[in-house]
Amino acid sequence: MRKTRDDLTISEALRDPLIAMVMRADGVKLEDFKRLLETAAVKREQRVNPVKKFIDVIKTNPAAVCSYC
């Protein structure tokens, strides 16, 4: 994932005062929220990018391009 200036890192999100207020109001513990963000980040990293998958197929089998035309 490409980081833009508007994206927060996990550590920034955990220190953000507005997020802390909402978590407090909702009764969410910091450690639980941290675990949620870390789990989501790992799952996002593991997802297969369809474009990358397509490029990998083309690299390994150039004849496969015709089946996508």
pLDDT 10s digits, 45-65 = 777 677 877 787 788 876 666
Q: Give a yes or no: residue 64 inside a domain.
A: yes
Enumerate residues 6+ apart whose C-beta is below 8 A from 58. 64, 65
Q: Please tell me the total count of domains within the chain.
A: 1
Q: Give a yes or no: residue 2 inside a domain.
A: no
Q: What is the pLDDT of residue 10?
A: 94
Q: Give a yes or no: residue 4 inside a domain.
A: no
Q: pLDDT tens digit string along 28-45?
A: 999 999 999 999 988 887
Q: Give a yes or no: residue 62 inside a domain.
A: yes
pTM for this structure?
Answer: 0.59
Q: Does the pLDDT value for residue 69 go beyond 80?
A: no
Question: Cα(21)–Cα(17) distance, rounded to whole angstroms?
Answer: 6
Q: Answer whether 13's CB lies under 8 Å from 40's CB.
A: no
Instruction: Provide the residue range defining the domain that includes 51.
Output: 10-68
Q: How many CB atoms lie within 10 A of CB 6?
A: 5
Q: Give a yes or no: residue 46 inside a domain.
A: yes
